[in-house]
Amino acid sequence: ALPISAHEIVGVIPADDAWPGVEVFTPLAPNPDAWRDDQRLEAVARLAAGVTLDEARTDMVAIAAQLSDEYPDSNDGWGASVRPAREWLVGERLTTLGGLLLVAVGLFLLMACASISNLLVARSSARIREMGVRSALGASRSRIASQPLPEPGLISTVGVLLALILADRGLALVKAFGPGDIARLGQASLDPGALAVGLVAAVLTVGVAALAPVFLLTRSTDSTVLRSGSRTGSTEGQRLRSALVVAQFALAVTVVTGAGLLTRSFGELMSVDIGFDASTVVAYAVRLPADRFDQRDRAEYMERLQAELLAIPGVRAAGSTTAPPFSSMRPSNFVARSDQEPDRQQDFLPVSWRAVTPGYFEAAGVPVLAGRTFRREDMGERGQRIQNPAVVIDRTLADQLFPGEDPVGRLVTWFLPGGQQCEIIGVVATARDERLDQEPRPRIYRPVTFTSWDQPAVLVRTEGDPTELIPLLREATLRVDGSTPAIDPAVLSEDVRETVAWPRFSMQVLGLFGLVALLLAALGIYGVTAFSVARRRREIGVRMALGAEPSGVHWMVVRRALRLAVGGITVGLAAAVLLAGFLGTVLYGVSRTDPVTYLGVPLVAGAVALAATWIPARRAVRLDPREALVEE
């Protein structure tokens, strides 16, 4: 005979990251004994031919309204939400991050265009006299305009090859460090369509950048160039190059400000007090199927397991709960003060709830503020119906239901008017164990015998390194029941880190973009300043020969560069205010106009500009006046 828990394999489907962590699917059949108010299931449906999403949504809303009328005790006030599978899988956070990345990529393209244009304009300015000679000797404007074109072609070719290498390595890093709940992230690859778009963008960027020097050369190749000497090269294209530097700094400041806001937000998120220490807690699940365990069996199993775990040297406390901390399982219900019980469920207070064993609060590290926590007698005996069963509430719920009063010994009504009345035996601290970026919901704790949850989570608080005890925890779990192994034991702090995977990922990506943007801006202002010093060698030599102080020459070079940087920073801050509107949904504890960020980023950008102009300025100071005066 087959074991009771055995299943027959009826099919095999391809491995797919659309269901991360799921390897086995079992049938889900209607259960007449299940509670109608159990709202933990999600339905996936395919639209019939010719049916629109709006039509399906209208039908589901009508069905929900009908169920609300037929079953007011369990369905009153419940509606229906219908959304596309793509939106369900992708989610709002990935959509927001994707939009930010597209904006950042667009800004980078503009910065690349500005950098290349600056480079080509500077080189072309140095050749204006040469092109004047060519024009005077009869060269056509089209011939002259074609002179700088091979260089942009070479730049685009090298850039595309490097981009392919960086894209491949970057995708590997995203797979390794990206949030684990991105659907099908493991199957992501360099799509040919995306590569084609990138190739076209690179060619167009370089092509647009090449137009500036072409315009400069074709406009300046007349006989006046021959009479102007080197002074023409020093002024032609100066305004265009300056405008490009301003644009580079504006784009850099925009991206860096966004990265700064996300970094500040992440810092605020990491400083959130979760209400307990997760670094020494190991959490894992056990599977207790309904065909082998009823509610009382599960409670007895957990008692035996707790005894085995506590016998392990280094284990300080152990307990279990229906919903593990920092998981996607977040059960909800409704409660009200029994002495102020509303007539409608809509007026009850929505709460988070957990069913836990004695020892859970000590294992989780949640402090007891008043009264006591659960004992063995609170669990009840098999078949026993306890009048006014014991519950524990957290401080948030106590403050909302009993402001300024002692809630211990008071009664609350569960779920709906006339529902089960429960006695509060204790108040514990509020545990932020669902999402760090949201305020914790008020919570009520019930004994583990309250529910028939078939996969409880076990929490074990240890002394020393918790990873060393994981093998012993596995062995102890199998000793209690050989068919219930410990499922995926891990240190709870890893789950805490996973909850901030999205903010950390967003911060890292935009931060990397910001560093590259600052680097490009620094290279741009360095190139312009160096070129300006080279073209003004004769002027600088004259100034120094007439007695100009080196500090004055140094400040003259730096002042012009900083003026460009300040202009770019000002424009960038204005653009950053607009960009911050996209960050409103992903920021935590930080305003979109955070003064620290908006003061710090200009200082950093100014320091980068100052550092980038320092070397060209030093070269100007060290210039030998005699050499400069004899140059053409």
pLDDT digit string, tens, across residues 257-276: 988 998 898 888 888 878 77
In this predicted structure, what is the pLDDT of residue 506? 78
Q: Contact, 248 vs 568, CB < 8 A? A: yes
Lowest-confidence region among 157-161, 182-186, 261-265, 499-503:
182-186
pLDDT digit string, tens, across residues 406-425: 999 999 999 889 899 999 99
Q: Which residue has the tokens 């007449």?
A: 32
- Whole-Å CA distances, 42 to 168, 274, 580: 36, 29, 34
In terms of pLDDT, which residue wins out, 228 or 75?
A: 75
In this predicted structure, what is the pLDDT of residue 491? 92
In this predicted structure, what is the pLDDT of residue 233? 45
pLDDT digit string, tens, across residues 565-584: 899 999 999 988 887 877 77
- Per-residue confidence band for 219, with pLDDT thresholds at 50, 70 and 90: low
pLDDT digit string, tens, across residues 71-86: 877 777 788 888 887 7
Q: Kindly tell me if the per-residue pLDDT of 231 is higher than 50.
A: no
Structure tokens at 512: 């990397």
| pTM, to two decimals | 0.69
In this predicted structure, what is the pLDDT of residue 174? 75
- Per-residue confidence band for 230, with pLDDT thresholds at 50, 70 and 90: very low
In terms of pLDDT, which residue wins out, 531 or 245?
A: 245
In this predicted structure, what is the pLDDT of residue 474? 95
Q: Which helix (H) or strand (E) holds 227?
A: helix 223-228
- Whole-Å CA distances, 456 to 357, 360, 450: 10, 12, 13
Looking at the DSSP bridge assignments, the partners of residue 337 are 412
Structure tokens at 464: 């020393």
- Whole-Å CA distances, 228 to 224, 437, 552: 6, 64, 27
| Average pLDDT of the residues in 38-45 | 76
Q: Kindly tell me if the per-residue pLDDT of 361 is higher than 90.
A: yes
Structure tokens at 207: 């092509």
Q: How many CB atoms are located within 10 Å of the residue 55 CB?
A: 13
In this predicted structure, what is the pLDDT of residue 20? 59
Q: Angle of helix 501-535 relative to helix 550-579, nearest 10 degrees?
A: 150
Close Cβ partners of 450 (under 8 Å, ≥ 6 residues apart) = 295, 355, 389
In this predicted structure, what is the pLDDT of residue 498? 77
- Per-residue confidence band for 246, with pLDDT thresholds at 50, 70 and 90: confident
- Per-residue confidence band for 486, with pLDDT thresholds at 50, 70 and 90: very high
In this predicted structure, what is the pLDDT of residue 627? 62
In this predicted structure, what is the pLDDT of residue 145? 62
Question: What b/e string do you get for 186-197 counting C-beta neighbours within 10 Å, with b at 16 or more?
Answer: eeeeeeeeeeee
In this predicted structure, what is the pLDDT of residue 229? 47
pLDDT digit string, tens, across residues 104-136: 677 677 766 766 666 666 566 555 566 666 666
- Per-residue confidence band for 277, with pLDDT thresholds at 50, 70 and 90: confident
What percent of the chain clears pLDDT 70, i.e. is strictly above it?
78
Residue 87, amino acid: E
Burial of 224 (0-12, 13-18, 19+ CB in 10 A): exposed
In this predicted structure, what is the pLDDT of residue 254? 87
In terms of pLDDT, which residue wins out, 385 or 348?
A: 348
